[in-house]
Amino acid sequence: MRYRVLGRTGLQVSVIGFGGIPIQRVSAAEAGLIVHKALDLGINFFDTARGYTDSEAKLGSVLRQRRNEAIIATKSMARTAGDMASDIRTSLKAMGVEYIDLYQMHNIKHKAALEKVLSPGGALDALQQAKEAGLIGHIGVTGHIKEFLLEILRIPEIETVQFPFNPVESNGVRELLDLSGQTETGVIIMKPLAGGAFSNAGLALRFVLEHPVSTVIPGMDSLKQLEENVKAGLDPLPLSAQERRALDEESGRLGTVFCRRCEYCRPCRQGIDIPSVFLLDGYYRRYNLQEWARERYHGLKATADQCVGCSECEERCPYNLPIREMLAEASGRLA
């Protein structure tokens, strides 16, 4: 396994990390085998979240046994200091550890959220206090809107940034990577396989690793997936012309129907969070997390069946997606 430095944290992380979403759908015993094997194969970076049901507990059951071999990252949607402090305590208890290497503010996607976490009494206050107390080592942010993340990269307290990047979701990435290099911010890449849309995981992972990123965190819930993904962390060779053509062809096919979560479709007059609907539908179809996706879908303020077909979202979509049709299909599955 190759390793890279996670920005100014100084942490040496495996270029292939472990994304903690899919581990929710396997048993605790199966999860234990997978996580032990990941460590054995050289993976040392594990990412999870408070919102991933029992993911923290499943990862923690192994990682606390081999604590010196693992760099643990988790995250919370908390926006206030009180809520964040509570979530940090809950994460420590769920994982059974005394220290978390990286704690991230999860899915900061608009100005109001950023202002709230940065204001006095905001989530960043709690993270800094936890860092001073030795409960966490470093502070990061995750998000999907690359234009907005450019603002976050200029905040000195933020040591890492996590965002999606794959062959069909690359708009704005060069600017983000350039600025992260200037600020020495660690770069964690989520959704490297476009939510499991790419059939050749190895090519997609190697594509991302050709760029100056710190670690790539595909989700894994089987030993087969694990072993396939690890191979990309062993191969230092760039993609061949033939491999690049194969990846370009698959990217072209996905590009006509794939939501990149750019959020240009928002706001919806009916209050539908269109990117979130498609994200949950992706978890339903690709991750086999039907119950998890449905539960969160029904927790949305407005569901896809409330679409009135006004087409305003389609007019704003830079990818010309048939959003009304896609919402109807998602509603049929998630409702």
Reading phi first (left if > 0) and then psi (alpha if -120 to 50, else beta), residue 161 is in beta
Geometric angle at alpha carbon 323, from 321 and 329, rounded to 5°:
120
Residue 137 · residue 131 · CB < 8 Å: yes
Q: What is the mean pLDDT of the chain?
A: 93
Q: Is the peptide bond before 267 cis (omega within 30 degrees of 0)?
A: yes
The pLDDT of 48-65, averaged and rounded, is: 96
pLDDT tens per residue, range 160-175: 999 999 998 888 899 9
pTM of the model: 0.84
In terms of Cβ atoms closer than 10 Å to its own Cβ (0-12, 13-18, 19+), residue 320 is exposed
pLDDT above 90 coverage of the chain, percent: 78
Kindly report the backbone phi and psi dihedral angles of residue 106, in degrees, each rounded to the nearest multiple of 5, phi listed first: -90, 130
pLDDT tens per residue, range 205-234: 999 999 999 999 999 999 999 999 999 999
When mean pLDDT is compared across 76-90, 205-219, 250-264, 265-279, the lowest value belongs to 250-264
Residues 6+ apart with CB under 8 A from 65: none
Domain with CATH 3.20.20.100 in the chain: 3-246
Whether residue 32 has pLDDT greater than 70: yes
CATH architecture of 3-246: Alpha-Beta Barrel (3.20)
Considering only CA atoms, which of 146, 208, 131 is closest in space to residue 176? Answer: 146
Element at 129 (helix H, strand E): helix 123-132
Q: Residue count of the chain, please give it.
A: 335
